[in-house]
A and B are shown apart, each in its own frame.
Chain A
């Protein structure tokens, strides 16, 4: 059991060792590269703020993915729900007139609602009533969301007059203020631990969370216990999509401050890595999000200082998730050890 607990840690170590070997193979000093990575991620107030700027959307989308995994649903379309959250929040942010703080809150809620609907309505209903697997539907919805977003700002109704494919800027009342001046880190970072506690509380301390986890663990047992599978699927996807949409709204209102076609859905994929590394634990998700935020931010510095391509971060991520998936390795080693012990027992009496 102990080996299983520290397995994510082992996966991280293996990944960094392989990444170091790869760096070395291409003629660079891995220690200099990793040194640049660490200082690029944590070396100054500016770099810490940059790391946390990436951590913010990763943590919230990571919580979204973890929530769906705990409910037995493979929502891998967080990127699309994130886009929808961005679209809805951007629209409220520039088209609606509201007093300061209320404007932000309404735009965020609109983003969360859009994300929730994007996940629950089509993938949710298709899963609940037609048995369509959510892995494919949520993924397809991500592509549709990206195309929809591009349409809206490239000649569509949300494009600012002119030729640049972007929306008008957010109204000043809808902009989330910067926490560290000169960086893109906003005070919205304080919402991250709050959301982690909220997700933990809902999953572990409410009857809703209990029935969702039960449905995720064993749908048949859940049905005997009176859980309605349709409600469970729709609720879990709505909450998961809502969190992703929320993350998208924070990105638009805090970092980008307008919607443009480079609005990046790739956090949705990294979020899966984050959730898996954390074994879907809300607080572990925060730690994993900091790790990947740091990896992402530090990798750019590593490219500049040590001349090692930032893509090394992707290699490391991929190896980590591969070994998380290949947890069966542990079983393999255990069985070999078991077979050896058994062999000893069998040979002993014969001696």
Chain B
């Protein structure tokens, strides 16, 4: 049980949660507008690659971060075009984006960097030491110093929650996901709202990918997201399609991963068993045994304005 008292465990749980939390927030954005976003995984991967490529090229992690957001948005536009305007099946189109992203980033990585990997002098985002926070007794070592994106995440989270639940934009946004026909009748441009919701989700997933590649590390390797986009989708559901809920779920996943690292080499319990935890919890949550979750009513249904 000494493991649980180690602040390193909790600090790294937060670090590991943030990439998933960004993507999960994107998942909330898109599912609230009625688009099931299994493409998060691919957008994260594209974001992770763009972040390193531009950070290395311009010797600026912030330009890398910007590039990740743009790359995530562009990928999301492709996905949104297919799902919203062409009424493609969300799952199939999402899988297409995931497979395409894995292939494309692998292709670009091998074409541009080859055996050597991404440049070792790629700048990564700074680690911020927060003055007051870091001197609080127990919480200080856990919350006091992290990659910049960890703190930026909380800013985004608060703003997102406010927009989604306290502004007219958020009302339209959610209406489109719950009952598009009524929203349409009330004059909401349903397809446009869905499109931009998905693009916003792409920006979030891009940020999540950037956090992996230039926040926690300063390199890219093929398939480095290893299913975090799918886990984010699970966090959306486990978090009951709410921004704070999805963050809580992401924390749980981060904790399980962090715990598995801490238990590495320990004989007490296999890290592989600990790693199963988040997936098991997700299934229990989906089956309604842990918490209660209801998807937006029109989630996953393409909307045809002419019918």
Asked if A140 and B282 make an inter-chain contact with CB atoms under 8 angstroms apart, the answer reads: yes
Asked if B88 and A327 make an inter-chain contact with CB atoms under 8 angstroms apart, the answer reads: yes
Asked if B282 and A314 make an inter-chain contact with CB atoms under 8 angstroms apart, the answer reads: no
Query: Chain A residues with Cβ under 8 A from B283's Cβ?
Result: 122, 126, 132, 136-137, 140-141
> Max chain B CB contacts within 10 Å: which of A155, A322, A329?
A322
Cα distance, A275 to B177, chains bound together (Å)? 30
- A-binding segment of B55-63, B95-103, B165-173: B95-103
Minimum CB distance partner of A317 in chain B: B99
Cα distance, A317 to B107, chains bound together (Å)? 13
Out of A130, A150, A317, which one reaches B103, CB within 8 Å? A317
Interface residues of A in 298-322 (CB under 8 A from B): 309, 311-319, 321-322
B72 at the interface (CB under 8 A from A): no
Query: Chain B residues with Cβ under 8 A from A276's Cβ?
Result: 92
Out of B92, B104, B273, which one reaches A325, CB within 8 Å? B92
A-B contact pairs, 17 of them (CB 8 A): A122-B283, A126-B283, A131-B288, A132-B283, A144-B276, A269-B99, A311-B105, A312-B103, A312-B107, A313-B103, A314-B99, A314-B107, A315-B104, A315-B107, A324-B92, A326-B86, A331-B86
Minimum CB distance partner of A27 in chain B: B111
B89 at the interface (CB under 8 A from A): yes
B6 at the interface (CB under 8 A from A): no
- A-binding segment of B147-155, B189-197, B227-235: B227-235
Main SS at interface, chain B: helix
A46 at the interface (CB under 8 A from B): no
Minimum CB distance partner of A74 in chain B: B91
Using known A-B contacts A126-B287, A154-B270, A322-B96, determine if residue A147 contacts B101 with beta carbons closer than 8 Å.
no
B156 at the interface (CB under 8 A from A): no
A217 at the interface (CB under 8 A from B): no
Asked if A136 and B233 make an inter-chain contact with CB atoms under 8 angstroms apart, the answer reads: yes
For the complex with contacts A130-B286, A132-B288, 12 further pairs of A-B residues with Cβ separation under 8 Å are A126-B287, A130-B288, A136-B237, A137-B286, A140-B283, A315-B104, A319-B100, A321-B92, A321-B95, A324-B96, A325-B96, A332-B86
B110 at the interface (CB under 8 A from A): yes
Query: Chain B residues with Cβ under 8 A from A143's Cβ?
Result: 227, 230, 276, 279
A76 at the interface (CB under 8 A from B): yes
Out of A130, A147, A273, which one reaches B99, CB within 8 Å? A273
Query: Chain B residues with Cβ under 8 A from A150's Cβ?
Result: 272
B74 at the interface (CB under 8 A from A): no
Shortest Cβ distance from residue B191 to the other chain A in the assembled complex, whole angstroms: 13
Shortest Cβ distance from residue B228 to the other chain A in the assembled complex, whole angstroms: 11
Out of B103, B227, B273, which one reaches A318, CB within 8 Å? B103
Contact with B along A54-77 (1 / 0, CB 8 A): 000000000000000000001010
Minimum CB distance partner of B302 in chain A: A328
A22 at the interface (CB under 8 A from B): yes
Query: Chain B residues with Cβ under 8 A from A22's Cβ?
Result: 107
Minimum CB distance partner of B238 in chain A: A136
Out of A154, A311, A325, which one reaches B88, CB within 8 Å? A325
B222 at the interface (CB under 8 A from A): yes
Contact with B along A181-219 (1 / 0, CB 8 A): 000000000000000000000000000000000000000
Closest 5 CB pairs of A and B: A314-B103, A318-B100, A328-B86, A311-B106, A309-B110
Query: Chain B residues with Cβ under 8 A from A133's Cβ?
Result: 286
Contact with B along A127-149 (1 / 0, CB 8 A): 00011110111011101100110
A7 at the interface (CB under 8 A from B): no
Cα distance, A285 to B45, chains bound together (Å)? 29
B175 at the interface (CB under 8 A from A): no
Asked if B89 and A325 make an inter-chain contact with CB atoms under 8 angstroms apart, the answer reads: yes
Asked if A326 and B97 make an inter-chain contact with CB atoms under 8 angstroms apart, the answer reads: no
Minimum CB distance partner of A132 in chain B: B286
A262 at the interface (CB under 8 A from B): no
A43 at the interface (CB under 8 A from B): no
B224 at the interface (CB under 8 A from A): no
Using known A-B contacts A126-B286, A144-B276, A322-B97, determine if residue A316 contacts B103 with beta carbons closer than 8 Å.
yes
Asked if B91 and A151 make an inter-chain contact with CB atoms under 8 angstroms apart, the answer reads: no
Shortest Cβ distance from residue A141 to the other chain B in the assembled complex, whole angstroms: 7
Cα distance, A315 to B104, chains bound together (Å)? 5
A156 at the interface (CB under 8 A from B): yes
Contact with B along A75-102 (1 / 0, CB 8 A): 0100000000000000000000000000
Query: Chain A residues with Cβ under 8 A from B91's Cβ?
Result: 74, 76, 135
Cα distance, A137 to B280, chains bound together (Å)? 9
B275 at the interface (CB under 8 A from A): yes
A224 at the interface (CB under 8 A from B): no
Minimum CB distance partner of B236 in chain A: A136
Contact with B along A323-351 (1 / 0, CB 8 A): 01111110110000000000000000000
